[in-house]
Every structure is written in structure tokens, then in C-alpha cells.
């Protein structure tokens, strides 16, 4: 059988699988090599890819900013990843066509083509995890922008984040208070103690006030940002995904309240839903994007 092999390169894990439409088979996962970065990661990815038979093309979803198959910038989670020409290096090693795009862009395309946004001509996907990313997808194609940066929802200014440093080095961006790490930091500022996401969720379920307030403030502020983006972009549906989207009701309630507070009347019926593809979304989206791009 001839198949598209999708590879999702993240800061902690590299996943691969054969993708046929919305189905992923023969999924494998390896740890992203810590330390030496590209020197060790690329050979590991090539070995992983070579373990599959009958691959006709490779579709990559990668952490970082991707322009024309090249990683133009990446976080410290994958050292030395910036500068890697994914498409050229994998294409040469495997002798098949390779397409690559950012992992959040791929996630958005996955939800738009085979996930909860299927059937909507346009969608805004917001991924809330350690950071906050996003993808505005129209007719199966993500808006990538002139520098591959389009969709960086986490780096929008919000008053509640004033004077708090963001992962990008600027101050006042929503990611600094509403991402998983941002809410953990807010909890620590309020109490002097560290909590994981699940621990904060449990405390919120138990109606303990520091966790409830942190989840409420982060959720409400992010809801306002998503409402503002909806006013500007008018997507058919908004998909919220990522590890924080699995958070408890108080976070979702606050998110919906913030959204309702910011949304303009003509777009206030826009569905705001949880993503449904999970970890497979970037694999499915990368393959779908390769099809659209190569068509």
C-alpha cells in the first residue's frame, strides 16, 4: 500500500504514523533527544521514517516557525532546531516529496478537515498548553503570514497581563497569564507554592479559592482575546484544544464569559467548542495540508 507518512516533531515527543484521510495507523512515538538538537534529532527522525514501508510522501508538523520547509525560529525546548531545513534534509534522506508546516497550523488544518470543524469553510483553532498558539484556516489552508508567524494568539496584549514577562521576552502578552505555565506562575505569585495543571484543576473542583481565581482569570482573559479575534476574523467555528482545554468546568465557564463579554452581536452565535482529534490532529492536518499544497 502507498501511504503518506506524517511526522509530528514536538519539544518532548516525536510522533509518526501513516495517514489515510482522518485515520492514523502504525503510530510510533519517540522522545525528542535532549541537548544536541538537530545533530541528534534529524538522524532519529530519519531512522523513524525508514521503519515504514511503502511511503509515497512525508508530511511534517513541527514545533517552531516554519517557512518553506525551513525552521526559522524555535523555542529552547528543541535546542539548535532553528535553521533546520526539514523538507530538504528529509527529502534527500528518504527520496520522497516532503512538506512541512508549523504544528499548530497543522493542528488547525486537522480539526478543519477531519475534526470538529469539518464542514465549516473557515475555523479558528486556539491551542492552549505550555504556550498558546493558533491557526486560522480557510478552505483547508492555514493563514501562515509573511514570516510564518500568523496565529501566534498567545502574543496578543491583554491588560490583565500588564508587567508580566512573556516567553517571547515582551511584557503583557496573554500567554503569560492564560497558558498552562502562565496560570501555574500566577498561582505561584499568589500563594508562593507550585501546582501542576491537574493539581490546580482538583483544587478548583474542591472550590479552593487560589486555584479557582487563577483558572477564572486566565480563562476569562483568554475568552476576551478569542472574542476579539472572532470580531476581527469572523470564523465559522472556534476550536479550543491543547492540554488546558481538558481543564475543569470553572475554566470553560470563565472562557465562555470572557468570550461573551468581547464578542460583537453579529458574530455572537459563533460556536466555541473543544477540539476532538487530540494528539493525532497535527499528523492528520499535516497530511491534509500536503494534499492541498501538492494538488
Write 232-235 long-range contacts (CB < 8 A, 24+).
233/122, 233/124, 233/136, 234/122, 234/267, 234/270, 235/120, 235/122, 235/123, 235/124, 235/136, 235/270
The reply on whether position 178 binds Zn ion by CB under 5 A is: no
Q: d(Cα 15, Cα 106) in Å, to the nearest integer?
A: 13
Task: Please give the residues from 43 up to 72 whose contact with Zn ion meets the rule CB under 5 A.
Answer: none
Residue 95 CB, shortest distance to Zn ion, in Å, is 40
Taken in order 164, 105, 286, 248, the sign of the CA dihedral is positive
**Strand segments (E) across 80-196:** 98-102, 122-128, 132-138, 141-142
Smallest distance, Å, CB 168 to Zn ion?
3
- CB 275, CB 281: distance < 8 Å: yes
In the complex, the smallest distance separating the C-beta of residue 247 from Zn ion, rounded to whole angstroms, is 21
**Positions in 113-172 near Zn ion (CB under 5 A):** 155, 166, 168, 170
- Give the alpha-carbon dihedral of 105, 291, 11, 239, to 10 degrees: 40
| Cα(209)–Cα(226) distance, integer angstroms | 25
Kindly tell me which of 16 and 226 has the beta carbon lying closer to Zn ion: 226
**φ, ψ dihedrals at 143, nearest 5°:** -70, 120
Between 164 and 233, CB nearer to Zn ion: 164
- Taking the complex as a whole, how short is the minimal distance between the CB of residue 214 and Zn ion, in angstroms? 19
Smallest separation (angstroms) from Zn ion to the CB of 189: 18
Looking at residues 196 to 235 of the shown chain, list those that interact with Zn ion (rule: CB under 5 A): none
Give the interface size with Zn ion as a residue count (CB under 5 A). Answer: 5
Residue closer to Zn ion by CB (options 226, 288) is 226
Q: Choose, by CB under 5 A, the member of 15, 158, 173, 195 that binds Zn ion.
A: 173
Closest contact distance (angstroms) between CB of 165 and Zn ion is 9
User: Residues interacting with Zn ion, by CB under 5 A?
Assistant: 155, 166, 168, 170, 173
Amino acid at each position: 500500500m502507498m501511504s503518506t507518512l506524517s511526522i509530528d516533531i514536538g519539544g518532548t515527543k516525536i510522533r509518526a504514523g501513516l495517514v489515510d484521510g482522518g485515520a492514523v495507523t502504525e503510530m510510533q512515538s519517540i522522545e525528542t533527544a535532549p541537548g544536541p538538537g538537530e545533530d541528534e534529532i534529524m538522524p532519529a527522525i530519519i531512522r523513524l521514517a525508514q521503519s515504514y514501508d511503502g511511503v509515497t510522501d512525508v508530511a511534517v508538523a513541527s514545533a517552531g516557525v516554519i517557512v518553506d520547509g525551513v525552521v526559522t525560529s524555535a523555542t529552547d525546548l528543541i535546542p539548535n532546531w532553528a535553521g533546520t531545513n526539514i523538507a530538504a534534509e528529509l527529502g534527500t534522506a528518504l527520496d520522497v516529496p516532503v512538506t512541512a508546516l508549523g504544528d499548530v497550523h497543522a493542528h488547525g488544518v486537522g480539526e478543519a478537515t477531519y475534526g470538529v470543524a469539518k464542514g465549516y469553510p473557515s475555523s479558528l483553532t486556539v491551542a492552549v498548553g505550555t504556550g498558546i498558539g493558533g491557526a486560522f484556516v480557510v478552505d483547508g489552508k492555514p493563514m501562515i503570514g509573511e514570516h510564518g508567524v500568523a496565529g501566534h494568539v498567545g502574543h496578543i496584549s491583554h491588560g490583565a497581563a500588564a508587567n508580566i514577562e512573556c516567553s517571547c521576552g515582551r511584557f503583557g502578552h496573554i500567554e503569560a497569564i492564560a497558558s498552562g505555565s502562565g496560570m501555574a506562575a500566577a498561582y505561584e505569585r499568589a500563594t508562593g507554592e507550585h501546582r501542576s495543571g491537574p493539581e490546580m484543576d482538583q483544587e478548583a473542583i474542591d472550590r479552593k479559592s487560589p486555584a479557582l481565581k487563577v483558572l477564572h482569570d486566565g480563562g476569562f482573559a483568554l475568552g476576551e482575546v478569542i472574542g476579539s479575534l472572532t470580531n476581527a476574523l469572523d470564523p465559522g467555528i472556534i476550536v479550543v484544544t491543547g492540554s488546558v482545554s481538558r481543564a475543569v468546568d470553572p475554566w470553560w465557564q470563565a472562557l465562555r464569559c470572557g468570550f461573551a463579554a468581547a464578542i460583537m452581536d453579529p458574530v455572537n452565535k459563533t460556536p466555541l467548542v473543544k477540539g476532538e482529534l487530540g494528539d493525532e490532529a497535527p499528523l492528520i492536518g499535516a497530511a491534509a495540508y500536503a494534499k492541498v499544497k501538492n494538488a
